[in-house]
Amino acid sequence: MAGARLARMPAWSWGVVGALAVAVPTLWSQHARGPSQVLTQQDIDRAVLHTLQTQPLPAAAAKAYEAVSGSVVRVVGRAHPPGGTEAPKNGDKAGGVKPKTEDQADDDEDGASVGSGVVIVDSGVILTNLHVVAGSRHIEVEFADGLRSEASVVNVMPENDLAVLRAHRIPDDLKSATMRSTGDLRPGDRVTAVGFPFGIGPSVSHGVVSGLKREFRSPEGEKVLTNLIQFDAMANPGSSGGPLVTDDGEVVGIVTAIYNPVQERFFVGIGFAVPIESAAAGAGLPPF
């Protein structure tokens, strides 16, 4: 994490550093072969500009996705194992929270709920939303390489709508996401959401932090979440549990809800994420 936090410089400044790394050696070589000349700032500026124009930098969202994609998983919760017929008993709950549907993908033919998750420990510890797996007797996660594994709930945080899962099997090269404190997060900072909206993905959307310390009340009024990150990167049912990341691919939040003033299940421009500090604490990780 310490290495990842090198990048407190603005994302664009790293692009300039990269351009200099390419342009200056080439320019110096050209001068070295010719008559002795003094390398001026104007020469460097021209070389950097030429490099930026001929070798465009990757989009911020592409860079963020590349950094975190190997840690994002698809989460499926079922009332019974695939192909089984057992129905859930009346009143079944997980962590004292009833199963919800407002932030999940449409149920499939088995009545499964589909959401997202992110690996935070490379031994197979995964963060997701509690409402994605609440009431499920069988949980399956699918990793970036296609490996599917059953998973167990090892901890729940109903107050933050979060659950910690542990996969029973993991890929050999599984990498955990890098988490970052939200202490210096500000409205207007760029963020990227990665997940499985409506079960499709992994899908990427990009936007900005719209506000901090927001409050969200579930449509039924049963639950109030506080201290949330508001963002406008597109999220839809099934995005729940996926990571909200910075341009460097560092996780600052877990997508948990979308605001639907007309009670319809589609994005209207307001999403909410639980700050990663709250999520990491529930997984037993040390504070930032």
pLDDT at 100 over 90: no
User: According to the CATH classification, is domain 1-29+58-288 in 2.40.50.100?
Assistant: no
CB within 8 A of 161, min separation 6: which ones? 97, 129, 130, 131, 223, 225, 256, 257, 274
User: In the annotation, is 45 catalytic?
Assistant: no
Q: Which of 56-65, 118-127, 239-248 has the lowest mean pLDDT?
A: 56-65
With cut-offs at 50, 70 and 90, classify the pLDDT of residue 288: low
Over the stretch 24-81, which tens digit does the pLDDT of each residue have? 455 445 555 555 567 788 877 777 777 767 766 678 999 999 999 999 999 999 987 7
Residue tagged active-site, from 103, 116, 131, 203: 131
Going from N- to C-terminal start, the domains of the chain cover 1-29+58-288
Residue tagged active-site, from 240, 247, 248, 278: 240
With cut-offs at 50, 70 and 90, classify the pLDDT of residue 217: confident
Of all residues in the chain, the percent with pLDDT exceeding 90 is 54
Largest Cα–Cα distance in the chain? Answer: 87
Of all residues in the chain, the percent with pLDDT exceeding 70 is 69
pTM above 0.95, yes or no: no
Backbone phi, psi, residue 242, to 5°: -80, 165
pLDDT at 16 over 80: no
The pLDDT of residue 222:
67
Going along 48-161, which residue ranges are E strands?
72-78, 113-121, 125-129, 138-142, 148-157
User: In the annotation, is 176 catalytic?
Assistant: no
Q: DSSP assignment, residue 69?
A: G
Residue tagged active-site, from 161, 232, 247, 248: 161
What is the C-alpha separation between 124 and 249, in angstroms, rounded? 19
User: In the annotation, is 240 catalytic?
Assistant: yes
Q: Which of 30-44, 95-109, 158-172 has the lowest mean pLDDT?
A: 95-109
With cut-offs at 50, 70 and 90, classify the pLDDT of residue 219: low
Q: What angle do CA 7, 246, 60 make, to 5 degrees?
A: 90
